[in-house]
Structure 1
Amino acid sequence: MHPAISLPTLIAHRGYSAAAPENTLAAVRAAHRAGVRWVELDVQLLGDGTPVIWHDADVARCSDGRGRLRRMTWPQTQTLDAGRWFGKAFAGEKMASLEDMLALLDALEMSVNLELKVNRGHDPIALVDRVLPSVLDALPAERFVLSSFDQTALRHSRTFAPANTLALGVLVNRLPKDWRTLCADIDAFSLHAHWGRLKPAQAEAVVQAGYALLCYTPNDPHAFHPLWAWGAASAITDEPEAFQRYLSASFSAISR
């Protein structure tokens, strides 16, 4: 048994990252304004142990600063502008702490696929120990899925809660031959795969095995269209509104 999660058709990747700087509070608010109720976000630790919502191992791409997260403290990150790189309207946006992001998700009654991001040189056990208690305390079990490419992080996560109160997702690039073992090892709820590297028989096998299939990161709804028939439960996309328009048009055409 797993939590009674009602997966959406669309999940906004790193927040609505086509409309606002990725993994920020602004990106989550943008998703909410667009009517998207699930977001995908990345969490990792700073050098001082603070959990933050960030994807890269360093800050160069998405801020006006430089430096590796594992060598930074929370006060140092708050001197950075994490929004201006995206557009002037977002100047002054700050890196978000996990605490602030969970508070926003709770206030907006949103749900999250939270990826445990284990970049090189980072400790997966320490990450889980700092992150999971906060998430379990902040959100009901039916409003989040915890995923990772790192099997150590997923195995350690399972020690915190059984499958009926904690949904875990195995992240893969290409579907490996041992995907069934990886999923069974942690009593997984879902498997998250790169949409462009999936084959129909693989997708169908995942679904037949009882796992929800979440696909990242399609941004062309027409190209992604066949995967709905293959059994995809959710598309994790940078362009949720483009997908909404396409799906609405497709439904209207079928209804006529």
Structure 2
Amino acid sequence: MGLLVMQGCSGGQSDDRDSTGHQVEIIAHRGDSHAAPENTMASVASAWKKEADAVEVDVFLSADKRVMAIHDKTTERTGDKALPVRETGSEKLRTVDVGSFKGEEFAGEEIPFLEDIIASVPDHKRLFIEVKDSERAIPPVRELIQQSGKQDQMVIISFSLEVVKASKQQMPEVPAYWLRSAPRDQDTGEYQSIDTALLEQVKEHDLDGLDVHYRGVTPELVEASHKAGLKLFVWTVNESDDISALAEQGVDGITTDRITRAQNALGRQP
């Protein structure tokens, strides 16, 4: 089926502001993960340097309950040794080189603590914290957010409904968005549209909206989200035509590995 949004006929750079003047948020996926090792301080710093509107990082708790920025349950894919994150203390996890897999110039990059990433967030920027762990991670994440004084710059996202429910209950002032994949046809593998009925669950649990795979977006989903007073974010969009089309449809934010490409597609000067 392919991308379910239709690109307008602007023929060039698109105006990514809606009728209220709101600008589509460009969210750097795992930091500037195209240019630097994902979920590292190098990646986060590069995203801020490129003037991304927000950065997204993934977090798990270590064995000693420190909040660590890493996507996988183990360090095997991005690290120089394989350790199970939740069963390993933070001190040992910090000995893993999670930079060299991307390039020699990143050798020695450590798994960051969430508090260090939060501290790096500039004024008027936001941090999307994807909780890969269970709802047990919410209390320590909440503590770090409260200690930072940057509550109004933080966002919680998760594929787990229980996690975002717990986040909203414990941090009602922090936006919480439910991550959802786009369904696929069992025979063809083609992406299918995301059911607007999901919005009923979002409203039921006082969440702030959805954050969905862009291939499942339809004009109906965008319209229904906004009519319900909810936000709609999309992930992970790297092609210029798709970025422009989604902005024209009115999504609130676009998560991307390609920050500069997204800025160019939206007609911005970073």
TM-score, reference length from structure 1: 0.85
Corresponding residue for residue 153 of structure 1: 163
- Identity among equivalent positions (%) equals 27
Residue 176 of structure 1 and its aligned partner are, at CA, apart by 4.6
Is 1:63–2:73 an aligned residue pair? no
* TM-score w.r.t. length of structure 2: 0.81
Q: For 1:9 and 1:245, how far apart are their aligned partners in 2?
A: 13
The number of aligned residues is: 237
Letter in 1 for 2:108: G
Pairing 1:125-164 to 2, within 5 Å after superposition: 125-162=135-172
Counterpart of 1:225 in 2: which secondary structure? helix
Correspondence for 1:170: 178
- Please give the root-mean-square deviation of Cα atoms over the aligned residues, in Å: 2.0
**8 A contact 2:99–2:109 mirrored in 1:** yes
Structure 1 segment 1-256 matched on structure 2, within 5 A = 8-105=24-121, 110-118=125-133, 124-162=134-172, 165-174=173-182, 175-176=194-195, 178-248=197-267
1:113-170 alpha-carbon deviations (Å, 9 max, x no partner): 111113xxxxx232112211211331433312111111111222222233xx221111
Quote how far apart the aligned CAs of 1:97 are: 0.8
Give the partner amino acid of 1:17: S
The structure showing larger relative contact order (alpha-carbon pairs under 8 Å, at least 6 residues apart) is 2
Aligned partner of residue 159 in structure 1, secondary structure: helix
Structure with bigger helix share is 1
Structure 2 unpaired stretches of 5+: 1-21, 183-193
Q: Deviations over 1:223-251 (max 9, x none)?
A: 232222222111100001011122228x9
Structure 1 position 221, deviation (Å): 1.7
Assess, with a 3 A threshold, how the Cα gap between structure 1 residues 109 and 202 changes in structure 2: closer, same or farther: closer
- Contact 2:31–2:43 at 8 Å: present in 1 too? yes
- For 2:80 and 2:111, how far apart are their aligned partners in 1? 11
| Residues 168 and 207 in structure 2, CA contact (< 8 A), matched pair in contact too | no
Alpha-carbon distance in structure 1 between the residues aligned to 2:31 and 2:23: 16
- What is the DSSP-based 3-state SS (H/G/I as helix, E as strand, rest coil) of the residue aligned with 2:58? strand
- Report if aligned partners of 1:45, 1:69 keep a CA contact under 8 Å in 2: yes
